[in-house]
């Protein structure tokens, strides 16, 4: 894609050809993230550090921060707008208002003085082949889309669509009703999906908010959405991230053309973020919820943070390596999926294990014994090399998908990291010292600080037997 020369054209005056609306209102759904299969054989040789991708950034006159990550050769182009507002900013009595407000953005907007309804927006997105993606979090929310390979010339139209949705949303009573209905549909479907339920409840382990039931959204009114717009949907509280097959100057020029004249009305004072609550253990009886046994159960466990972030992550990768059996007959954990969840919340680190339903009790016992055994001996140089290889493989996978790269960057920005530091966190320039990893490994707790279990009564009994000091309570 060529660089823009001279004055950038105004794509807002071009007729939209673009973008499929997949999951409009998905801000009320669990975030979709790329997951790395840690049960696959890791590379035997350590990989060279990838290094952070180049970054161009600019703060526009209206306060909007623009970040451009050129990634030549990527299969698609990602555009994301991060709003510094999440579940932690929702006041008591108005829980769910930010998630509902983000979902309503895709339900109607104004373009050049004319209203676009849901069907217009869906057709525009479908024409571009760029489904809209909404993701919620404790401190921030994301609205984005991805252009597939071969359609990079639609960048201007795609960015214009994104600009229309955030600059002039209708936030109508009809949009509110549709978003409520989608939340109710979500609640019905999630009862049959342990994996989606696990991700929905995972922030609670990190001291974040519990998911808001659809019934609680009935008390919200259109005035609440309009207040959300005045408080949070403002350029000074937003970050635009463009990543993929585009030049740095091209991305910055398009952002200026479409967003620099974004001048919203008077601001309302944002609500102070609610303080994080102590991580708590939860249990959800899936069999009772759906009236039948699902095909698998889920266990999420949180570990307290502390120490050097990279060394600690490498130490946790070492534990994951040791928990994976080397032969099919060496234990119940063979074939399980164990991986860290990339949560927007900063506290604490959360790991997920998928259990076969009929063997959940035995697998929990095997996990407790395996975790203790994995921490018994100091890591070897070969294990350190293999664990570092896993981290580099994960970074390489992230670098090939601009939408995943942008979302991962935004989650770290929401924690208060500067863009350059966030990229160093995602693409470490080199492994930590052996001493730092050994210290982090020795500091890992023998037990989690919180558990989220989704299973039947047998699974609950097994949890009490293997983690007796971690209290379990039903979700509120």
Q: How far is CA 458 from the centre of its chain?
A: 31
By the 8 A CB rule, do 42 and 385 touch? Answer: no
CATH 3.50.50.60 fits 13-259, yes or no: no
Asked whether the predicted pLDDT for residue 31 surpasses 50, the reply is no
Tens digits of residue pLDDT in 179-196? 888 888 887 887 778 778
Helix axes 97-105, 222-232, angle to 10 degrees: 90
Tens digits of residue pLDDT in 99-144? 999 999 999 999 988 999 999 998 999 889 888 998 888 889 999 9
By the 8 A CB rule, do 247 and 70 touch? Answer: yes
By the 8 A CB rule, do 353 and 367 touch? Answer: yes
Helix (H, G, I), strand (E, B) or coil at 141: strand
Strand spans (E) along 226-294: 238-244, 282-285
Q: Tell me, which fold does domain 282-466 have in CATH?
A: Cytochrome Bc1 Complex; Chain A, domain 1 (3.30.830)
How many residues appear in the chain?
Answer: 476
Confidence bin at 290 (pLDDT 50/70/90) = low
CA pair distance 118, 470, nearest whole angstrom: 46
User: Between these two residues, 448 and 144, which has the higher pLDDT value?
Assistant: 144
**What are the extents of the domains in the chain?**
13-259, 282-466
Confidence bin at 339 (pLDDT 50/70/90) = low
User: Between these two residues, 143 and 211, which has the higher pLDDT value?
Assistant: 143
The widest CA-to-CA distance across the chain, in whole angstroms, is 69
Burial of 435 (C-beta count, 10 Å sphere; 0-12/13-18/19+) = exposed
Which residues pair with residue 132 across a beta bridge? 145
CA pair distance 370, 366, nearest whole angstrom: 6
Tens digits of residue pLDDT in 217-230? 899 999 999 999 99
Task: Name the token pair of 386.
Answer: 């293999």
Q: In what order do the strands lie in the sheet with 337-340?
A: 282-285, 450-455, 296-303, 349-356, 337-340
Task: Name the token pair of 388.
Answer: 């570092």
Classify residue 49 by its DSSP letter: P
Does 13-259 match 282-466 in CATH topology? yes
How far CA 214 is from CA of 97, 195, 427, in Å, comes to 12, 19, 38
């Amino acid at each position: 894609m060529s660089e823009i020369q001279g004055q950038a054209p105004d794509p807002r005056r071009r007729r939209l050809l673009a973008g499929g609306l997949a999951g409009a209102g998905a801000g009320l759904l669990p975030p979709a993230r790329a997951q790395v299969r840690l049960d696959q054989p890791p590379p035997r040789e350590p990989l060279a550090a990838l290094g952070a991708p180049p970054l161009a950034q600019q703060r526009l006159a209206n306060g909007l921060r623009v970040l451009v990550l050129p990634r030549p050769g990527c299969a698609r182009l990602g555009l994301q707008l991060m709003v510094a507002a999440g579940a932690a900013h929702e006041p008591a009595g108005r829980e769910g208002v930010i998630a509902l407000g983000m979902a309503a953005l895709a339900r109607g907007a104004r373009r050049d003085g004319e209203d676009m309804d849901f069907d217009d927006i869906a057709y525009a997105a479908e024409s571009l082949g760029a489904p809209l993606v909404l993701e919620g979090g404790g401190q921030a929310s994301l609205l984005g889309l991805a252009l597939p390979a071969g359609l990079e010339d639609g960048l201007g139209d795609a960015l214009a669509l994104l600009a229309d949705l955030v600059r002039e949303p209708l936030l109508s009573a009809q949009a509110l009703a549709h978003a409520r209905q989608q939340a109710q549909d979500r609640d019905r479907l999630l009862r049959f999906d342990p994996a989606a339920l696990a991700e929905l409840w995972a922030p609670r382990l990190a001291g974040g908010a519990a998911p808001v039931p659809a019934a609680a959204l009935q008390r919200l009114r259109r005035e609440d959405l309009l207040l959300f717009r005045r408080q949070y949907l403002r350029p000074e509280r937003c970050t635009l991230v463009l990543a993929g097959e585009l030049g740095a100057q091209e991305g910055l020029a398009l952002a200026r053309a479409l967003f620099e004249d974004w001048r919203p009305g008077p601001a309302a004072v944002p609500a102070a973020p609610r303080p994080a609550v102590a991580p708590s253990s939860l249990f959800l009886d899936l069999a009772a919820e759906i009236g039948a046994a699902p095909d698998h159960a889920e266990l999420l466990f949180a570990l307290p943070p502390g120490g050097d972030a990279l060394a600690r992550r490498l130490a946790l990768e070492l534990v994951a390596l040791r928990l994976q059996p080397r032969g099919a007959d060496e234990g119940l954990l063979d074939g399980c999926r164990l991986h860290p969840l990339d949560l927007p919340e900063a506290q604490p680190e959360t790991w997920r294990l998928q259990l076969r339903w009929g063997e959940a009790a035995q697998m929990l016992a095997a996990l407790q014994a395996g975790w203790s055994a994995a921490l018994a001996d100091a890591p070897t140089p070969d294990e350190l090399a293999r664990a570092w290889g896993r981290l580099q493989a994960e970074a390489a996978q992230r670098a090939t998908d601009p939408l995943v790269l942008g979302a991962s960057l935004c989650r770290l920005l929401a924690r208060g990291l500067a863009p350059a530091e966030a990229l160093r966190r995602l693409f470490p320039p080199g492994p930590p010292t052996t001493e730092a990893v050994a210290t982090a490994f020795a500091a890992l707790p023998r037990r989690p600080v919180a558990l989220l279990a989704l299973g039947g009564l047998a699974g609950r009994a097994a949890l009490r037997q293997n983690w007796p000091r971690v209290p379990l309570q039903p979700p509120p």
